[in-house]
Amino acid sequence: MELKDQRTSMVDSFIEAVSDGIELMVVVSDSTSTSKIKPFAEKYPDRVINVGIAEQNLIGISAGLALGGFVVVTANAAPFLVARSAEQVKNDVAYTNTNVKMMGLNPGFAYGSLGPTHHSIEDISMMRSLGGMRIFTPIDPSGTAMAVGHVLKTNGPSYVRVDSGVFPDLPDSEGFRAVDDPIRLSEGGDITILGLGTSAHAVLEASGILAKNGINVDGWGIPSIRPLNMEPIRKSVKKTGAVITVEAHSTHGGLGSLVAEFLSDEGMAVRLKRLGASEGVFAPASPRLSIEKKFMLDPVGIAEAARIM
């Protein structure tokens, strides 16, 4: 089973886009290493601009290039892209519907021991507050290529969460994917478990643990927040009557909040458990796996949450 960094899939998609005739420009903020952009920069050196550690300028320059007719991608660390340049993202990209594609690299707890200054557990919440912003959370390398390819060919602003971990492609029981469709991980009637982005891998493993204990999971990977086809989730929750959301994000404003809002709007009286960084707290400066264990985002923790619901 091949393991691949999502950033590699992202860069491969950039190269393919230029080969297909897309007038792509990639803007980085001293993040050439973080973005793994070297293969693209070697092939297309005139299509990469490094603005230095100046994320606000990065967004302003990107918006200007987009208004000049380029398809523009930013590729830098999610915590600095989203938080430091929040005003520019709101005014120069979202409000003006400017054709800028923002790649949030190393989101969630990916920076581990570097601590809360580098964790990005509020990025989805912030991006969800912006009108017109599409938000993608690929679950695996193939899904990353699909999401990046989609936003490069679709006009308007987008935010794509690109994990720095290495993951295999997950099996797709339907035999195909749409960019906004949940991906089935397991089929069962006892409980629905939804994994945001690469958390889907832990959900799949937890489903196996629970199956050994006689609990059959309807498991889904969530590759997109906006747009997101909610119909499979509706059907699943109606069948099971209980749902757990799993995300490397705060329980405020992310997938858990989205599902809670949906269930409320639909008048669906079901049990809901949201797993993520506890609302109102920062994650500790610890290795990624330790943080995931603390918030019950590892397979054992997910399985335990399902057992005690």
pLDDT of residue 173: 46
- pLDDT band for position 178 (cuts 50, 70, 90): confident
- pLDDT band for position 176 (cuts 50, 70, 90): low
Of 135, 167, 199, which residue sits at a domain end?
167
> Is 174 part of any domain?
no
> Is 140 part of any domain?
yes
pLDDT tens-digit map of 284-301: 999 999 999 999 999 999
CATH code at position 245: 3.40.50.920
Q: Are residues 12 and 159 in the same domain?
A: yes
- Is pTM beyond 0.85? Reply is yes
Report the relative pairing of strands 134-136 and 48-50 from DSSP bridges: unpaired
Upstream peptide bond of 138 is cis (omega within 30 degrees of 0): no
Mean pLDDT of 275-284: 94
pLDDT tens-digit map of 198-236: 999 999 999 999 999 999 999 999 999 999 999 999 999
> Is 172 part of any domain?
no
Report the relative pairing of strands 191-196 and 217-222 from DSSP bridges: parallel
CB 75 within 8 A of CB 26: yes
**Structural domain harbouring 45:** 4-167
- pLDDT band for position 2 (cuts 50, 70, 90): confident
Report the relative pairing of strands 134-136 and 166-167 from DSSP bridges: unpaired
Q: Are residues 154 and 23 in the same domain?
A: yes
> Is 44 part of any domain?
yes
Of 140, 167, 194, which residue sits at a domain end?
167
Of 167, 193, 225, which residue sits at a domain end?
167
pLDDT tens-digit map of 138-175: 999 999 999 999 999 999 999 999 999 999 998 864 44
CATH code at position 38: 3.40.50.970
> Is 176 part of any domain?
no
> Is 118 part of any domain?
yes
Q: Are residues 19 and 142 in the same domain?
A: yes
